[in-house]
Structure 1
Amino acid sequence: MAFAKICKVDQENRQFKTDWTERYCFFLPDHNSAKPTCLICMQTVAVIKADNLKRHFNSIHAASFNANYPEKSDQRKQKIASMLTSYKHSVLTMCKTTSAQESATAASLHVSWKLARAKKPFADAELIKQCAIDMAAEVLNQEEPIKKEVVELLKQVPLSANTATRRVEVLAEECFSSLLTDLRKTEAFSLAIDSSCDRTDMEQLSVFARFFDGKSFREELLCFISLPGRTTREIIFNELTQFFERNGLDVSKIVSVVTDGAPSMVGHRQGLISRLSTVNPALLAFHCIIHKSVLCAKLCGKMKETMDTVTRLVNFVRESSSLQHRLFRPLLEEMSAEHKDLLLHNDIRWLSKGRVLERVCDLRDELVSFLSSLQSQKASDFLSFLTDNKVISDVTFLCDIMSHLNHLNLRLQGKNHTVADMYEAIEAFRSKLHLLERDIHGRKLHFPRLREHCEKNKMQEDPAMKDFVSRLAENFKEIFESSPKLSADILLFVRQPFSVSADGQWTAEAKKLVPSIDEAALQMEILEMGTSDLLKAQHKDALVSDFWINVVPQARFKNTRDIAMLLLTMFPSTYICESAFSSMNAIKSQDRNRLSDSHLGQCLRIATTEYKPDIRKVASSRRSHFSH
């Protein structure tokens, strides 16, 4: 039995004929997928076909319409033209209203985006709106018609606190959607994980992802998870894996994780890393390089006692009495001191010790004068401390050595640092320590405060100072060489690919890191790169990441590029998490401590992201309406 062919209307390309308007009072609107529409009742027919239009007109409108407006008469033509004009006018009015509403929504989104980027409260949106209205009124004072129109437009922009909250939710979701899209497409990414308490003692887990999006390396907030109870490895692991499952992310794509070294993170049996390694055995775990460098510089013995005394001295002047602090600051102004006040020590802040010691050394004379005017026993004890030249030599030594450590710390801080860059900085500092160890018993070129103090008081340095520098060098060696995750050659390869040997052991390590590469082909590519004068010339002027992304051809050097891109994907420190916690404290301030955890995460995502949502596209996709 033969089956009849099914008629597909969308493939027939039927055309609307202009004479149907006068005969059947139908027209075809000017937009995509338009259907013939009756000018009398505004009903539509599904198919552009004369019989359908005729059937509708004859069954519903023919009797009354033809009686009042005979066919081919001027009255009929004028009536149809009038109905067409009325329809176009109503459509134009609707389009203008919709366009104005979308513009108001877009303006509202722009303001909410700027507020979230600046870490400001949602309620400030209404203040910005009022400021904009007042500015327009003042600037356009002489242009009354324009002024009235502009002010009315600004008043229509919805910027209440609730509206700003909803706008931030939408914008954060748009950024998160872009991030998920890129992460699903990328071949590998690394994580930086850290936790900290917010203003309300809620533990917040910050997880950042670093990946290559096809054009550049990105560092983006992956998730910000609240941990209301205990923060054990099982709880953190379950929260993290559930997040990955909900959002369709592959745990096996994680190449490395960097943490602050807390037991819940790196414990052999109880740590998050060990739990993640059961899911992804190839995972590399790193202890934050900045945290490790700070651990190397922990004070002990005589130096710790000196630092503690300096801290107590600062606290005595600044914190023991408000009156005492108020009297100290005018004294500094009177004596034309270099600084306006002392700095408080905070052991959590990496640069704190060096800054506190520098300020005490610079204000030593002013402190002696101030303490001499006080009558308490504590003031007398601290005065004895500041006037003891032997003790002050230890203070100046600590000030000098801490300045070198602070210089290293500042070099390690910042976004978009690679593992190779930071290990290079560590190796450079280790070399400097050997120089400092020799210099302290010599000319003291690198200990300017200690040298000045010793020359002024005609005294020698304490042998304990050299022991401190020697111990510092040993600590750096022990901590950074005890269990290296990456060899020196493979790190050198990323920075100086022309300086490594093709037949070295590092190629075997590269094979372990990226099992998919061909080790034999990798060695051949290294030799070929070493003979390329063009690549060498371009390498001199390019950043490490730019060289591997834009200069090295993917087709010609596939294996070398794959291993380099994997190493560049790795996070070297948790600096970005620490920076996010500073933003968290600015967002969830003391005056804004009732901010919900979800809104805190959304504000933090906008404040830290490099994505820029298409505001107009977002506005057009939303239901726009004027509001307060």
Structure 2
Amino acid sequence: MAKRKADFENHQFKSDWTDCFCFILPDHAKAKPTCLICMQTVAVCKTDNLKRHFNTMHAASFNANYPPESDQRKQKIANMITSFKHSVSTISKSTSAQESATAASLQISWNLAKAKKPFADAELIKSCAVAMVSEVLRHDEKQKKTVVELLQQVYFTTFCFFAVSSSSDWAHNRGSHLYHTDSILCEEWLGCWQIISIVTDGAPSVVEQHKGLVSRLSAINPALLAFHCIIHKSVLCAKLCGKMQETMDTVTRLVNFVHESSSLQHRLFRAMLDELSAEHKDLLLHNDVRWLSKGRVLERVCDLRDELASFLSTLQSQRAQEFKMFLIDNDMMGYVFFLCDIMSHLNCLNLQLQGKNHTVVDMYEAVEAFRSKNNMGEDQVMQDFVSSLAKNFYECFECTPKLSSDILLFLRQPFSVSADGQWTAEAKKVWPSIDEAALQMEVLEMGTSDVLKAQHRDVGVNDFWINMVPQARFKNTRGIAMLLLTMFPSTYICQSSFSSMNSIKNQDRNRLSNAHLDQCLRIAKQSTGLISEALPPPSAVTSLTDW
């Protein structure tokens, strides 16, 4: 017969054991019988165990001083119980206060890391909190003292260590930022298990034929999908030339003239705008790196056209008069207004392409919507520019043979795709190991499912493929969808991560090691805003390493 396990015998503590053996059962989870005399515990709640301990350790002396059934014995046991409960209550309060102080310290450190601020600022936050409490509760000295004492217990170390771990339940990971958990699609800073696609900005070191990163990765994974960042493509398509470039250069020189000719001139211009209660208080400088400023610069010049012309008329220099003639020339300003409109549309497109949680289908749809609007322009020069812009977008954003328009349509409208050999052949180019015959059968079965069609109408794309499409029945179709959903369409998150790293690792934080930088960057890039949403509750924390 197998040996019995004491944990499964469900022994119950009996109240008469307290009088007989001076044992008590503490009031907390997984408590063990505790001796009131020596505070030792026994592993199993059984009469023999408690009796053995009492007879061996305390029976002779305790029974001699406090005979059984005597009033002195009952009073002594009652006093020991009161003392035990008081000590437990004191320890519990102390432990609770320490846990709260630890949780507060970690919460502040988490918020500092999210804001990319040094952990040394925690002491400043603590002093500010104490000052605020002292001021707000100055009429209630008792409550103020209690709160200030609690705040003083919050302790900060030089560095806070966080281990934020996440997991993925499929093989197609979106670079190092995407994972699937709790039935949602998330973009986080994670390690990479298997690379199925790569998006680059077109730099030679990345796309070089023999030594570039793409070629080296393709040697390891021949099925690797390589794309040019959609945002970079849109910027390249919007390059100016001819009359439009000449107009942009003139506007840039005008802004630089007002800003940089002399500090006095710039101050006078701002003073005039303030006196006239103009819509804006200054002009914006143009920077080729931050190309979005092109559209903003043109908008600001158009809005302040009259004020600029009035200010330039007060200056005596030849350049000022040339810029004034440019502003009052309706033909020249027509190009400026046209270019301003074009750049505003490009800015809107660029902002649509930026941000997290964008799938490749979402971004290609935004580009297609912009391409459909490229039928504007009145005179010949402007029509030529729009035609050139439309041609550039058409050539750059034509789907590659590995990612055809039918594949992209399948993610949004899976029931409109025909299960013919041509479509499955396109799918096999994206996923070479897929079973074409099984894929055709799954597409046909999905097309006849009224339940899936109704769910597709009621939920979003991500929710539909992750939660509504059964993995067992539609393994291949779901695999294609997961591949597309986890594919990076741009380098936005990578570039924003570099910006976050530059903010975290500044010249003042020269003691920040690479390991600490990685931990701070992980927290800064977390999508959850509060530590309570990403980490265990304070009650589950036993040490700093648990966080």
Which TM-score tier does this pair reach, normalised by the shorter chain? Answer: 0.7 to 0.9
* Structure 1 unaligned residues grouped into runs of 5+: 192-207, 223-243, 442-462
Secondary structure of the residue that 1:498 maps to in structure 2? helix
Secondary structure of the residue that 1:270 maps to in structure 2? coil
User: Does 1:559 pair with 2:476?
Assistant: yes
With 94-103 and 74-83 compared, the bigger mean Cα shift is at: 74-83
Q: Distance in 1 between matches of 2:445 and 2:436?
A: 14
With 305-314 and 376-385 compared, the bigger mean Cα shift is at: 376-385
Secondary structure of the residue that 2:38 maps to in structure 1? coil
> Any conservation in 2 of the 1:212–1:569 contact (CA below 8 Å)?
no
> Any conservation in 2 of the 1:38–1:44 contact (CA below 8 Å)?
yes
User: Which residue of 95, 105, 122 corresponds with 2:102?
Assistant: 105
User: Does 1:133 pair with 2:130?
Assistant: yes
Residue 363 of structure 2 corresponds to: 422
User: Does 1:491 pair with 2:408?
Assistant: yes
Residue 65 of structure 1 corresponds to: 62
Shift in alpha-carbon separation, 1:344–1:594, aligned structure 2, 3 A: farther
> Any conservation in 2 of the 1:498–1:529 contact (CA below 8 Å)?
yes
> Any conservation in 2 of the 1:511–1:517 contact (CA below 8 Å)?
yes
Residue 171 of structure 2 corresponds to: 187
Shift in alpha-carbon separation, 1:110–1:5, aligned structure 2, 3 A: closer
- Deviations 1:136-161 (CA, angstroms, capped at 9, x unpaired): 44444454433332333233233x4x
Paired letter, 1:187: A
Paired letter, 2:184: S
Q: Distance in 2 between matches of 1:73 and 1:275?
A: 89
Q: Please state how far the C-alpha of 1:541 moved relative to its aligned partner.
A: 5.2
User: Which residue of 71, 74, 80 corresponds with 2:77?
Assistant: 80
Shift in alpha-carbon separation, 1:367–1:596, aligned structure 2, 3 A: farther
User: Does 1:379 pair with 2:320?
Assistant: yes
Residue 391 of structure 2 corresponds to: 474
For these two proteins, the number of residue pairs brought into alignment is 541
Q: Please state how far the C-alpha of 1:520 moved relative to its aligned partner.
A: 2.8
Q: Please state how far the C-alpha of 1:33 moved relative to its aligned partner.
A: 5.5
Residue 205 of structure 1 corresponds to: none
Q: Distance in 1 between matches of 2:453 and 2:44?
A: 67
Shift in alpha-carbon separation, 1:587–1:7, aligned structure 2, 3 A: closer
Residue 39 of structure 2 corresponds to: 42
- Deviations 1:482-529 (CA, angstroms, capped at 9, x unpaired): 845400111111122233322152212223434564423433443444
Q: Please state how far the C-alpha of 1:572 moved relative to its aligned partner.
A: 1.0
Q: Please state how far the C-alpha of 1:530 moved relative to its aligned partner.
A: 4.2
Q: Distance in 2 between matches of 1:602 and 1:68?
A: 62
Q: Distance in 1 between matches of 2:393 and 2:318?
A: 41
Secondary structure of the residue that 1:285 maps to in structure 2? strand
Shift in alpha-carbon separation, 1:334–1:77, aligned structure 2, 3 A: closer
Q: Please state how far the C-alpha of 1:220 moved relative to its aligned partner.
A: 0.8
User: Which residue of 86, 89, 92 corresponds with 1:92?
Assistant: 89
Shift in alpha-carbon separation, 1:345–1:33, aligned structure 2, 3 A: same
Secondary structure of the residue that 1:257 maps to in structure 2? strand
Secondary structure of the residue that 2:189 maps to in structure 1? strand
Paired letter, 2:260: E
Q: Please state how far the C-alpha of 1:539 moved relative to its aligned partner.
A: 4.0
- Deviations 1:434-482 (CA, angstroms, capped at 9, x unpaired): x23xx433xxxxxxxxxxxxxxxxxxxxx44333323222222222238
> Any conservation in 2 of the 1:350–1:409 contact (CA below 8 Å)?
no
Q: Please state how far the C-alpha of 1:329 moved relative to its aligned partner.
A: 0.8
With 39-48 and 328-337 compared, the bigger mean Cα shift is at: 39-48
User: Does 1:315 pair with 2:235?
Assistant: no
> Any conservation in 2 of the 1:507–1:523 contact (CA below 8 Å)?
yes
User: Does 1:290 pair with 2:231?
Assistant: yes
TM value normalised by structure 2: 0.86
Q: Please state how far the C-alpha of 1:293 moved relative to its aligned partner.
A: 1.0
User: Does 1:440 pair with 2:424?
Assistant: no
Shift in alpha-carbon separation, 1:294–1:485, aligned structure 2, 3 A: farther
Paired letter, 2:111: K
User: Which residue of 513, 516, 537 corresponds with 1:616?
Assistant: 537
User: Does 1:211 pair with 2:179?
Assistant: yes
Q: Distance in 2 between matches of 1:118 and 1:286?
A: 32
Q: Please state how far the C-alpha of 1:100 moved relative to its aligned partner.
A: 1.6
Secondary structure of the residue that 2:335 maps to in structure 1? helix
Q: Distance in 1 between matches of 2:399 and 2:470?
A: 36
Residue 605 of structure 1 corresponds to: 522
Q: Please state how far the C-alpha of 1:61 moved relative to its aligned partner.
A: 4.1
Q: Please state how far the C-alpha of 1:25 moved relative to its aligned partner.
A: 4.1
Q: Distance in 1 between matches of 2:193 and 2:539?
A: 28
> Any conservation in 1 of the 2:411–2:461 contact (CA below 8 Å)?
yes
Q: Distance in 2 between matches of 1:6 and 1:211?
A: 45
Q: Please state how far the C-alpha of 1:9 moved relative to its aligned partner.
A: 5.7
Q: Please state how far the C-alpha of 1:592 moved relative to its aligned partner.
A: 5.9
Residue 399 of structure 1 corresponds to: 340
Secondary structure of the residue that 1:258 maps to in structure 2? strand
Paired letter, 1:70: P
> Any conservation in 2 of the 1:508–1:519 contact (CA below 8 Å)?
yes
Paired letter, 1:440: E
With 550-559 and 275-284 compared, the bigger mean Cα shift is at: 550-559
With 323-332 and 298-307 compared, the bigger mean Cα shift is at: 298-307
TM alignment of 1:436-585, pairs within 5 A:
436=376, 439-441=377-379, 463-481=380-398, 483-503=400-420, 505-515=422-432, 517-531=434-448, 535-536=452-453, 538-540=455-457, 542-554=459-471, 556-585=473-502
Paired letter, 1:155: Q
Paired letter, 1:327: L
Q: Distance in 2 between matches of 1:186 and 1:43?
A: 51
Q: Distance in 2 between matches of 1:35 and 1:529?
A: 58
Shift in alpha-carbon separation, 1:553–1:35, aligned structure 2, 3 A: closer
Q: Distance in 1 between matches of 2:334 and 2:292?
A: 21
What RMSD, in angstroms, separates the aligned Cα atoms of the two structures?
Answer: 3.4
> Any conservation in 2 of the 1:263–1:270 contact (CA below 8 Å)?
no
With 582-591 and 473-482 compared, the bigger mean Cα shift is at: 582-591
Shift in alpha-carbon separation, 1:572–1:21, aligned structure 2, 3 A: same
Q: Please state how far the C-alpha of 1:567 moved relative to its aligned partner.
A: 1.0
With 48-57 and 469-478 compared, the bigger mean Cα shift is at: 48-57
Residue 352 of structure 2 corresponds to: 411
- Deviations 1:252-276 (CA, angstroms, capped at 9, x unpaired): xx32222322223322222222222
Q: Distance in 1 between matches of 2:185 and 2:2?
A: 55
Q: Distance in 1 between matches of 2:82 and 2:336?
A: 89
Paired letter, 1:344: L
Secondary structure of the residue that 2:198 maps to in structure 1? strand
TM value normalised by structure 1: 0.76
Q: Please state how far the C-alpha of 1:418 moved relative to its aligned partner.
A: 1.2
Q: Distance in 2 between matches of 1:48 and 1:541?
A: 56
> Any conservation in 1 of the 2:270–2:281 contact (CA below 8 Å)?
yes
Q: Please state how far the C-alpha of 1:326 moved relative to its aligned partner.
A: 1.0
- Deviations 1:402-426 (CA, angstroms, capped at 9, x unpaired): 2222232222222211111211222
Q: Distance in 1 between matches of 2:89 and 2:96?
A: 10
* Structure 2 unaligned residues grouped into runs of 5+: none
